[in-house]
Amino acid sequence: MTTRFDAPGLVVGPLVPGALCDQVLDHAATGRAGLAAILGDAAQRHALFRRGMRADRLLAATVDGKLAGYLSLKHAGRGPLAPSPGDFIRCHGWRRGLHGFAVFSLIEARSRAAPGGAYLYGIDVLEGFRGPSRFPPDGVGGALIRCAMQRANSLGATRLEMETRNPAARALMLRMGARPVTAPVLSWTRLLMASSGDYERLCIALPRPESMP
C-alpha cells in the first residue's frame, strides 16, 4: 500500500525491487552505529548486514521520486537485519565473529514488542528533508510513522512500540498518539524497559484488524 500526502510530491510505501529499494537497503545496512565497537565501522556493518536484509520490513518516503527517509519495523521476531553466524564469521573471523553474533542476538532480543505488537526498529529522515515546515503537519518522519501504523495493523498488530531518547522524536511520537509504556514489575516488558538505559519506551494503540474499514 502506497500513501500520498497533502504535501506536494511526498509518497510513502513499501519497497519494491529496483534502484530505490537498493538505495534504502544500502542506507539501512550501515545502521546499528551504537554497536560499532562490536560490529565495526559503516563499511563493515554494510558487509555484515546487506546480503540478508529483509526488504519487506522497510518503508520508504520519497519526494518527487527522490529518497527522503525510511523506516523499519520488527514483527513476530523478524526485523530488517538477519545476519547469520556465518555472516559474522565471514566478516570478523571465528573468535570475534561468534562473540559478535552472541552479543548482537542478545541485544536484538530486547528490541522487540510484547506479543501481539510490532516494534518501530528504526527511522531515518535524510538531510535536507528534516523538520515539519516543508511537509506539514509532522514532516517526513510523521508520514513514515503513520504508514508504519497502517503496515503494523495489516500484519495483525494491535500496538506499535518504540524507544527514544531524542526530545524531538518523542514529541513527534506523542503527536502520533504514543503514550509511555507501563508494565507489571514481574513481566517481560518491564525487563525490556529496565535494560533500555536512558531510552523511554512508548506505545501507539492500533485498532483491531477486524475493525479496520
Inter-residue contact 184 to 158 (CB < 8 Å): no
Q: In what order do the strands lie in the sheet with 179-180?
A: 3-4, 10-14, 58-63, 66-75, 118-125, 159-164, 200-205, 179-180
pLDDT at 187: 58
Flag whether pLDDT at 118 surpasses 50.
Answer: yes
Read off the pTM. Answer: 0.88
CATH of the domain at 138: 3.40.630
pLDDT in tens, 164-177: 888 988 999 999 99
The x, y and z cell numbers of residue 104, run together, are 548482537
DSSP type of residue 112 = S
Domain annotation covers residue 46 = yes
Q: Domain of 154?
A: 3-158
Number of domains within the chain: 1
pLDDT higher than threshold 60 for residue 95: yes
C-alpha span between 160 and 202 (Å, rounded): 8
Q: Where are the alpha helices (DSSP H) in 59-179?
A: 85-92, 94-110, 139-154, 167-175
Residue 172 covered by a domain: no
Residue 186 pLDDT: 56
Q: Is residue 175 part of a domain?
A: no
Res. 202: pLDDT tops 80: yes
- 181 domain-assigned: no
pLDDT band for position 213 (cuts 50, 70, 90):
very low
